[in-house]
Structure 1
Amino acid sequence: MAFQSASATTALAPANPWALVPPLGNLDAYISAVNRLPLLTLEEEQRYAQQFKKDNDLEAAGRLVLSHLRLVVSISRQYLGYGLPHGDLIQEGNVGLMKAVKRFDPDQGVRLVSYAMHWIKAEIHEYILKNWRMVKVATTKAQRKLFFNLRSMKQGFKADAIDADTHRETLSDHEIDMVAEQLNVKREEVIEMETRLAGGDVLLDPAPSDDGEQAFGPIAYLADTAHEPTAMIESRQRDALATDGITSALASLDARSRRIVEQRWLQVNDDGSGGMTLHELAAEYGVSAERIRQIEVAAMKKMKKALVEHA
């Protein structure tokens, strides 16, 4: 995402809002600038979203993006432990933010910050999986969840053992069981993922030997599946479920159930925290926290059924 060079100010310039943000090459200046950009009120967000939706007003879209750049910076910090440049993480997150703005429907009654968070994280996840290693270490949804949680969970444990070959801290049997239980995966999958994360990189395309003979590496046996028809269809289906499917599923709920689901699963505050707790919602509706939980469970089942029908 390219930005034009200019000094950051605290007011949105009507002619060119992008001029407020300095080049991403100067990361400290960029972060300082986006943190000074004013947030939009609900009324302003709705107005700009409607202008973009109905009139394809790109300036309105730019204002929506600008007001949420600080969210991208906040989310990107959560992924600094993978050894990738912070600026690149922000760039990918900005791509996800723009995709969210493009697909955002202001008539659904959900704030853009809640909707955009999922697109930002998805784009950063894809970037990490493609660049952290030459070959992806996570393929299924469960493996991806394990990949993005194992590192942080491992840091919370006190290492009980050191691997004799790699000299890296390894998880004990008890810690492996704890991770498997918390992430709802098999302990064998935890062991495999830890091994893959701790393994060394493999040179896919080795250089020719001294005698001029061509050396063969793993790259010779890898197929390019980037444009494989089945994968492309599955990708489009996932995108449809993430946008139209969720919107349709939410529309199938009554007002109370929908608000509970949005607060529990879709709401994200400026500080990165989630929405309301069961007890807070219980106090609002004058019922018990258990009743709110029952309504939430029923609503999620109804949404799941709606998503299946939509697919």
Structure 2
Amino acid sequence: MTATFALPVPSSNGSLEQYIQTVNTIPMLTPEEETELATRFHRSDDLEAAKKLVLSHLRVVVSIARGYAGYGLPQADLIQEGNIGLMKAVKRFEPTRGVRLFSFAVHWIKAEIHEFILRNWRLVRVATTKPQRKLFFNLRSMKKGFAALTDKEAQQIADDLGVKREEVLEMETRLTGQDIGLVAENDDDEAFAPIDWLADHDHEPTRQLEKRAFDRLQSDGLREALEALDPRSRRIIEARWLADDSGATLHELAAEFGVSAERIRQIEAKALTKMKATLAAEVA
């Protein structure tokens, strides 16, 4: 799908503002239009219908990508990665489930942006465990203002995220050392669609639908994804990602199974890919 039709492309050395203005002029779809286009795409592989679904939601990607402006990576690149997630969401979207494409696509857009940040930002090397990754992506929003954390505030965040107070303070030091401008690239309200503000409302309908789907994936979906794995793969995933503590290392599991750490990494990667496919099927 990505190679068959052209989309507007944000450019780091071009006019990013022009791109944002362009995608904000593309009208959002009504529920009826969205259902009709998605049905056409899935029944007859109508790429023109898929293109309209993607184009109408490019502004959503821009809104989400702006939330990751503090990681020192080009905004245009973040948008590009988010667009890939959007196209993956369109491919898997099923309107008969009763969820709007916006709500369904949020997960896929954020997932691609997260992967891009983890691949490209050198300071993320400290985020080697699941709790640390959670700390990495949540510390900014949990801080009250821009002042340095007090010991009490750091301890509270550590308790909430299941990490050590020292890890919170270390991550804060690393993040603030890489911060770019604190203001948005454009503070003109007219430059952004109303969806930019609606996405922040906890009780907005699409947010509620997203949370409901996420909660289901965290329980039934995760259990089914784990059950689809062989015993060794399940043990590795549970030890690496679902342990109450910081999780087992590759070398610890290598010693347990009598193989190399690289072999454990390969099994883990294959298992995660299989679990993602199972979870995607659950969503669809």
**Are residue 117 (structure 1) and residue 94 (structure 2) matched?**
no
- Asked if the contact 2:9/2:80 (under 8 Å) is kept, the reply is no
Give the deviation of 1:53 after TM superposition: 1.1
Range that drifts further, 136-145 or 71-80:
136-145
- Number of residue pairs the alignment of both structures matches: 199
* Matched residue type, 1:132: W
Looking at structure 2, the residues matched to 226 and 105 of structure 1 have their Cα atoms a distance apart, in angstroms, of 37
**Compared with structure 1, are the counterparts of its residues 237 and 142 closer, same or farther at alpha carbon in structure 2 (3 Å cutoff)?**
farther
Q: Which moved more, 1:225-234 or 1:118-127?
A: 225-234
Equivalent residue in structure 2 for 1:185, among 131, 145, 162: 162
TM-score w.r.t. the length of structure 2 is: 0.61
Aligned position for 1:131: 120
**What are the superposed Cα offsets for residues 139-193 of structure 1, whole Å, 9 maximum, x if unpaired?**
333222211111333362643xxxxxxxxxxx32201122124x3413x1x4224
Q: Any conservation in 1 of the 2:61–2:86 contact (CA below 8 Å)?
A: yes
Aligned to 2:255: none
Aligned to 2:65: 76
Which residue of 175, 178, 192 maps to 2:153? 175
Structure 1: gaps spanning 5 or more residues: 4-15, 160-170, 202-222, 248-311
Cα distance in 1, alignment partners of residues 265 and 82 from structure 2? 26
User: Is the 8 Å Cα contact of residues 130 and 136 (structure 1) preserved in structure 2?
Assistant: no
Cα distance in 2 between the residues matched to 1:28 and 1:154: 29
Q: How does 1:49-68 map to 2 (within 5 A)?
A: 49-68=38-57
Residue 226 of structure 1, CA deviation: 11
Give the SS at the match of 1:136: helix
TM-score by length of 1: 0.56
2:169 corresponding residue in structure 1: 194
The structure richer in helix per residue is 2
1:78-117 equivalent positions in 2, closer than 5 A? 78-117=67-106
* Identical-residue share of aligned pairs (%): 52
CA distance in 2, matches of 1:147, 1:192: 10
Higher relative contact order (CA 8 A, sep 6+): 2
Query: How far 1:2 sits from its partner (Å)?
Result: 8.6
User: Alpha carbons of 1:140 and 1:83: their partners in 2 closer, same or farther (altered >3 Å)?
Assistant: same
Structure label with greater radius of gyration: 1
Aligned partner letter, 1:238: M
